[in-house]
Amino acid sequence: MRGLRYMKIRPARLSDLPAITEIYNEAIRTTTATFDTEPKNEAQQLEWFRAHDGRHPILVAELDGSVVGWVCLSKWSDRCAYSGTAEISLYIKEGFRGKGIGRKLMEAIDAEARRLGLHTAILRIAEENVASLHLAERFGFRHVGVMREVGYKFGCWLDVHIMQKMYLEAKSPQNLKAEVSAECPDTGTESSEKRP
Ligand SMILES: CC(C)(COP(=O)(O)OP(=O)(O)OC[C@H]1O[C@@H](n2cnc3c(N)ncnc32)[C@H](O)[C@@H]1OP(=O)(O)O)[C@@H](O)C(=O)NCCC(=O)NCCS
């Protein structure tokens, strides 16, 4: 592998989707990093790609013309009040892990989160994933809690750690309103739905 100085991190293009899918499907088949259990097909991936807008970018790491990893910000929820919250997903191609690519992609998505004025980011990390837990802590994510045995994969019940990073600690209602109002005009009104 050529040195990381030759690696380019850039927004994903539709033509990257087969490589992104290959990386993700390998993780589905062989790791507990994702709780998906069936490989994704082209149509599912296209829908996923199109659900990522300017506020929810997908970035890829390209080395020698090949995509060797990707990272994205995804909506945490379709409910409007969550519009300042995103979840980070990060996957490095098998054979390229442990070489610093994950760290570079985290740096890039962390910068994007700041640029986009994201309020907070969440990572859900399965208990076995020490590399991800380490990486999250390194980037200032705090351990919020553990959801006990919420996943079952490869014959085991698995805990999931919730890690969170605050980008804007806006406790002032004025700030909060300014931040979310563009996407979520009715945040001031009481929702008829009582669930978070
Ligand atoms: C987890 C993952 C994204 C990390 O990316 P990576 O390129 O392998 O990691 P890096 O080489 O950039 O290392 C990042 C840090 O984690 C540490 N690390 C890497 N692999 C590790 C391991 N197996 N155990 C403990 N720490 C590890 C590195 O030492 C480095 O720490 P440092 O920055 O303090 O030096 C990658 O291994 C991966 O894609 N794994 C499978 C999918 C996955 O788990 N995705 C995340 C879902 S939450």
Q: Is the CB of 138 under 6 A from ligand 1?
A: yes
Bridging pattern class, strands 120-126 and 156-166: antiparallel
pLDDT at 2: 76
State in Å: Cα 117 to ligand 1 middle: 26
Render pLDDT for 1-29 as a digit per residue (tens, 0 to 9): 778 889 999 999 999 999 999 999 999 99
Q: Is the CB of 134 under 6 A from ligand 1?
A: yes
pLDDT at 183: 60
Render pLDDT for 34-71 as a digit per residue (tens, 0 to 9): 999 999 999 999 999 999 999 999 999 999 999 999 99
Q: Which of 148, 133, 129, 149 is nearest to 34 (CA)?
A: 129
Q: Is the dihedral of CA 164, 166, 172, 176 positive or negative?
A: negative
Q: Is the CB of 116 under 6 A from ligand 1?
A: no
Q: Which domains does the chain have, with CATH numbers?
A: 4-181 (3.40.630.30)
Which helix (H) or strand (E) segment holds residue 55: the answer is none
pLDDT higher than threshold 70 for residue 190: no
Q: Residue 49: what are its φ and ψ, rounded to 5°?
A: -60, -45
Average pLDDT, the chain: 91
Q: 110-120 as b/e, with b when 16 or more CB fall inside 10 Å?
A: bebbeebebbb
Q: What is this structure's pTM?
A: 0.91
